Homo-oligomer: A and B are copies of this chain.
């Protein structure tokens, strides 16, 4: 068991692409989308994991993760509740920390989210120039919800956009 402390942000513009060191294609679905006991199956490149998460309190969430055979994961994705979420995860090193920038595909195309994992809720970090509004705790951006209420289905103007508008 681990504890996940994570903050999530929108991004502004494409500047993060210059910092992206690695890209990995993710396909993930949910056997349970209940926020008290989310069960996610994820294929990340050519490996796969089963991940169970508990309720989020602040930016903190209990997390259990187990590797599973790729063939199992492919079969489990077909058993999921709702469509599979497809995205590319870019790892962007910045000021001694690593940002995970998720560029969503398919029904969530246009959405880009940046996440950072912290040691404690109060830990400070240097925000990159492309960091937009924080959406930690905003249920719309939870991947389990994006599976069934994808970004492209959101009614505009909803006050929510994947990329914050710039002045130019």
Instruction: Give A85 Cβ to nearest chain B Cβ, in Å.
Output: 16
Interface 9-mer from A71-79, A91-99, A107-115, A135-143: A71-79
In the complex the two chains form, what is the Cα distance from A32 to B54 in whole Å?
13
Q: Give the chain B neighbours of A32 by CB distance below 8 A.
A: 31-32, 34, 37, 39
Q: Do most interface residues of chain A lie in helix, strand or loop, or is the interface mixed?
A: mixed
Q: Pick the contact of A1 from B37, B75, B81 — CB < 8 Å?
A: B75
Number of interface residues of A (CB under 8 A): 21
B39 touches A39 (CB 8 A): yes
* In the complex, A36 has a CB within 8 A of chain B: yes
A31 touches B52 (CB 8 A): yes
Of A50, A72, A79, most buried by chain B (CB within 10 Å of CB) is A79
Quick one: which of A43-70 are within 8 Å of B by CB?
A: 50, 52, 54, 62, 64, 66, 68
Contact with B along A107-148 (1 / 0, CB 8 A): 000000000000000000000000000000000000000000
Instruction: Give A52 Cβ to nearest chain B Cβ, in Å.
Output: 6
* In the complex, A80 has a CB within 8 A of chain B: yes
With A32-B32, A50-B50, A75-B1 given, is the CB distance from A37 to B81 under 8 Å? Answer: yes
